[in-house]
Structure 1
Amino acid sequence: MHTVAVLALDNVIPFDLSTPLEVFGRSRLPGERPAYRVRVCAPTPCIEAGLFTLQARMGLEALADADTIIVPGTATPFASVPDRVLNALRAASAAGTRVASICTGTFPLAQAGLLDGLRATTHWLVAPELARRYPRIDVDANVLYVDNGRLLTSAGAAAGLDLCLHMVRGDYGSAIAADAARLSVMPLEREGGQAQFIVYEQPPAPRGFELEPLLRWLEDNGGRELTLEEIAQYAGMSTRTLLRRFREQTGTTPLQWLHRARVRQAQHLLETTEHSIERIAAQVGFGSPTAFRDRFKRVTGVTPRSYRRTFQ
């Protein structure tokens, strides 16, 4: 059983703290066995959490034997983190422990020097300050989460749910992660590279465009080669208007969204069946196995064969 230690620091954001408890605590193996042992620890017995005070049962010693450490966000991300906390994080990371952050929890990892030379993300509001304070970090404010293997970071609180489900899927496969997602009333996984929902000075306000029916139609017709013109015709608008409104609401284009949906279907088939790569490519609607392999690697970063070896 994996042990997850959730490290609560002063002014911890309650939702960020509850996110790993929700996801890892609900994950179950066959026979309803818990998939994770979850602990909450803190550098002091009492931690402020805004509207209430948290009394932690365990101290920093809980980090030493954890398989995964989660650092939730805090309302004071620029505050100095005690040296004993930074040293405990450094020691755990050096020992091979997986360390992840939610939202502004990226800042303690940055203070510890764990993200130097790596790509990382955080909430878009504080991403410029993260880049300014820690120039050795490649800050990407346009994604939901970044997985560097043993060091992972996520954007806002909702992206923390995506990251936790991503880790469950990597640990136990999509079936266990899907069950945890359903219990949390969440989609299994949004792509880590999906754009954050950033608020601009003049936010777009599309009208008269209900996206959900179109997405359902795209999924239902994903097995055939759709053109942008066909999609626009179904949506009842010009291709230019469709592209603009679709991008405003999803951060991507209809065809890119469709390709990602097909890749997600392929991931499920690669994990749960022995079907050949060629058969899966046809099942999910790619015109050729070559096109499927190319798109799959661009979305996931690995080949279909490598993905199957890892997750089946």
Structure 2
Amino acid sequence: MTFELISLGAMVLLLVADLLIVGRRPHVPSMKESAIWVSFYVGLALVYGVIVWAVGGVTPAAEFYAGWLMEYSLSVDNLFVFVIIMARFAVPRDHQQQVLMVGIIMALIFRAAFILAGAALLEQFTWLFYLFGAFLIYTAIQQAIPEKEEEQDDFKENALIRVMRRVLPLHHQYNGSSLRTTVDGRRLFTPMIIVFLAIGSTDVLFALDSIPAIFGITRDPFIVFATNLFALMGLRQLYFLLGGLLDRLVYLPYALSAVLGFIGIKLVLEALHTNSLSWINGGEGFHWAPEIPIWLSLTVIVSSLAVGTIASLIKSAHDARVEAARPVAEPESEDISQ
């Protein structure tokens, strides 16, 4: 318990320090700065997994690595939506870092609340694994369905944002990162308030995916908290490091679909194995339902993400070669024979 409390306290302080101190000065981080911070946080997660191994053994360490990889990948998927939101609302680039900071803080709050609620509910109602598993399988199917080309770069405002647009007195221009501005003596909200609402509602949706998924890896609340905290560390710098690379990871959604589908099936099998619903098999567990070991979960996650990333980069390189080989159309010459 002492190790867990010290670890969580240190992780929260580190994340808060990164958000409030490092991100205090509005600027666009350079590629070098972003790469250093991302490498630092990834290395820190790898080292921490070794510490967990030394303190708790192989199983919790494997659960940490599997959960961190999955949550980190879902966080990268979250960045796709952040990019679309930033473009949709034309957020000035030198203030995007502050928007990301607020988004990460909201994600931390939502995930913490969902983790506490999920852990308490699963402790009392193990049959919820049926619902969690079905939800993840449904999410995996939706993720695997390709979007229409015209919808890929479109952000669909939800009902809350549409209502706030009608209710709030909005100005069409930004005032730095401020939420309010004064125009002709009137106090108006800037578009930044809508951006924060869009980011916040997106965080809620992603928390709904990530929390059932991590409980499919481990039911240890400490591991769940740790993986989510490490997945959020360096996310702001990763946004600027990847930049246009996000558009090249075309197969990452399919890799995530495979991971979520696998975890969903794992949850359903675990629910069958430990069944407690009286109207299913008389309340007895299905002993034929296999228990998927953590090493297999880790293998599936690593291989799916690796295949998705490599395939995306290969396709991107191929498309670039095709584009470079395409003949350039010569401009039509003006008719000067008249």
TM range (shorter): under 0.3
Which protein is richer in helix relative to its size? 2
The TM-score, its normalising length taken from structure 2, stands at: 0.25
